[in-house]
Amino acid sequence: MILEKVGSMPENKRPLTWVEMAPPAPHGDDLLVKVSACGVCHTELDEIEGRTPPSTLPMILGHQVVGQVQGLGPDAHRYKPGDRVGVAWIFSACGVCRFCREGYENLCLDFKATGRDAHGGYAEHMTVSERFVYRIPEFFSDREAAPLLCAGAIGYRSLHLTQLVNGQRLGLTGFGASAHLVMKLASHLYPDTGIYVFARSENEQAFARELGAVWAGNTHDTAPVKLHAIIDTTPAWKPVVEALGNLAARGRLVINAIRKEGSDQNYLLKMDYPSHLWLEKEIKSVANVTRQDVESFLALAADMRIRPEVQEFSLSEANQALLELKERKIRGAKVLVL
């Protein structure tokens, strides 16, 4: 399923086109991977609608890929045909810039993203360097593992950036695939932490309570207590302003979004310094993931025996899955199963 041109989803409800192509040839230390499952991520909407457009077109999207090694480039030695591997958002990083050297390959000056700067997993095959794939713990099926590779890994990084201490109160604004994994992860790592969820739809609020939130309300609601940290996974601005109002002194808001949509940007004018920012509140964003984030999260998820809620689609139904995501028809993670 290829993206040929960038444009808004309401105008073009079928942005991806089904085409037949020869499988790519693995060069250097590449693996040829036969894709069995690929998660559908909100970032694909940002690529399709041009907020973070592909670096070349046409492009095969998809960065939460699970599959089997089917072929090896001449310099690939770490895996053998038949091995199961995963591919995440980080397709490559240079390894020599100052960010790479300091452990921040997610900020690499030459960061390349799977499915944006190189063909990804909305296809039967893809190639990827053996240095940028992961072994998937036995515990997970292919389709369960797929959403862990983005939503889970970046959720893990977001949670780490909150600097939360066990027992402190955590808020989540937005309750999609990333947030519901963060909720499970936070309950495991911080057993005495109460989790407060802000979500627009009553379905999402009910789902949050099912998963153990001590409180769930609308985006603009005031939580019964002030919170130490909040993670925002929405594409909008209203949740940012409202979250700041729910933070305690020294509280930190971590924005887990690659881009924000512009439709409600005026809401930022409602920002009131004394109630939203004063008292040493902080705002921080999270960008991309490192290989370490992905590996740590996969190991932790297997330990915790997380079973992601998955909604399956076939590859040819990719447009429908994306449209449902656009319309926020969300319960768990959408996965293309090949």
Would you tell me which residues interact with Zn ion (CB under 5 A)? 41, 43, 93-94, 97, 100, 108, 150
| DSSP bridge pairs for 217 | 198
CB of 150 to Zn ion, least distance (A): 3
Choose between 116 and 169: whose C-beta lies nearer to Zn ion: 116
Q: 121 and 67 in contact (C-beta within 8 Å)?
A: yes
Specify the 3-state DSSP secondary structure of 127.
strand
What whole-number distance in Å separates Cα of residue 253 and Cα of residue 166?
17
CA angle 103, 105, 107 (to 5 degrees): 115
End-to-end CA distance of the chain: 12
Q: 115 and 122 in contact (C-beta within 8 Å)?
A: yes
CB of 334 to Zn ion, least distance (A): 11
Choose between 84 and 116: whose C-beta lies nearer to Zn ion: 116
Choose between 52 and 70: whose C-beta lies nearer to Zn ion: 52
CB of 119 to Zn ion, least distance (A): 16
What whole-number distance in Å separates Cα of residue 220 and Cα of residue 191?
27
| DSSP bridge pairs for 215 | 196
Phi, psi of 153 (to 5 degrees): -65, -40
What are the angstrom distances between the C-alpha of 38 and each of 66, 89, 149, 332?
A: 6, 12, 10, 14
CB of 52 to Zn ion, least distance (A): 11
Choose between 43 and 127: whose C-beta lies nearer to Zn ion: 43
* Kind and range of the H or E run holding 335: strand 333-337
Q: Which residues contact 292 (CB under 8 A, 6 or more apart)?
A: 103
CB of 46 to Zn ion, least distance (A): 9
CB of 320 to Zn ion, least distance (A): 18
Closest CA to 64 of 126, 131, 157: 126
Choose between 150 and 159: whose C-beta lies nearer to Zn ion: 150
Choose between 216 and 286: whose C-beta lies nearer to Zn ion: 286
Choose between 74 and 103: whose C-beta lies nearer to Zn ion: 103
CB of 90 to Zn ion, least distance (A): 11
CB of 295 to Zn ion, least distance (A): 17
CB of 174 to Zn ion, least distance (A): 14
What are the angstrom distances between the C-alpha of 91 and each of 146, 216, 238, 338?
A: 15, 36, 32, 21
- The per-residue DSSP string of 225-291 comes to S-EEEEEE--SSSHHHHHHHHHEEEEEEEEE--S---STTGGGGGG--IIIIITTT-EEEE--S--H
Choose between 90 and 150: whose C-beta lies nearer to Zn ion: 150
Choose between 150 and 199: whose C-beta lies nearer to Zn ion: 150
